Amino acid sequence: MVTVFEDEFSSAQTEMISLAFSFANDHVSDTSVHVSDVFVWFYIWEGSCSGNAFYTVDGSVRSSDELLAGGESGDQVFALLHSLAREARRIELACKEFSRPVPVEGYLRHRVNSRSLDAQYSYEEVRDDEEDPLRRGKLADWKRAIQDELGAEIN
């Protein structure tokens, strides 16, 4: 079977959501707690790829490390971040293989109840005098925007 660009790109972003959602399911053991949204942010910049995830859980916005129960290892969060970076690399490689522009940043939102995915990508190049997107606070800005949209608190 011939791989087409859309298949590879979609597969990588679907895997990102799946990884983050599985992480949440594995670490929210209280069945009365409900994860309603899964957010994945990634960036590809100067040969580096990174990713991170956060969630809305019972009306509050929580990062992956905030889902860990007392005594759980932060190594699990590191493994998630590593896996998200690997999928960002897949997006980069697919874009290059099929001569498509490589997104600098990606914003994925999976609405659990409706099983819908919203995706936005930024292709703006980072200027030489700018720091990388993570240091510029893009993830924190998006998290705050979601908090404002939902009227949720950030834990």
pLDDT at 79: 93
Average pLDDT over every residue of 96-118: 93
Give the per-residue pLDDT at 54: 93
Angle between helices 75-97 and 5-27 in degrees, nearest 10: 170
Q: What is the pTM of this model?
A: 0.86
H or E stretch at 51:
strand 48-57
* Dist CA 124 CA 104 (whole Å): 7
Structural domains of the chain, ranges and CATH numbers in brackets:
5-154 (3.30.500.20)
Query: Tell me: the pLDDT tens digits for 109-128?
Result: 999 989 999 999 998 876 55
Q: Are 55 and 67 in contact (CB under 8 A)?
A: yes
How is residue 96 written in tokens?
Answer: 């290059």
The pLDDT value recorded for residue 143 is: 87
User: What's the mean pLDDT in 14-36?
Assistant: 85
Between 134 and 67, residue with greater pLDDT: 67
104 neighbors 133 (Cβ within 8 angstroms): yes
Instruction: Give the per-residue pLDDT at 66.
Output: 85
CB 11 within 8 A of CB 32: no
Q: Which two tokens stand for residue 86?
A: 């690997």
pLDDT tier, 26 (very low <50, low <70, confident <90, very high otherwise)? confident
Residue 11 has pLDDT above 80, yes or no: yes
25 CB neighbour count, 10 Å cutoff:
12
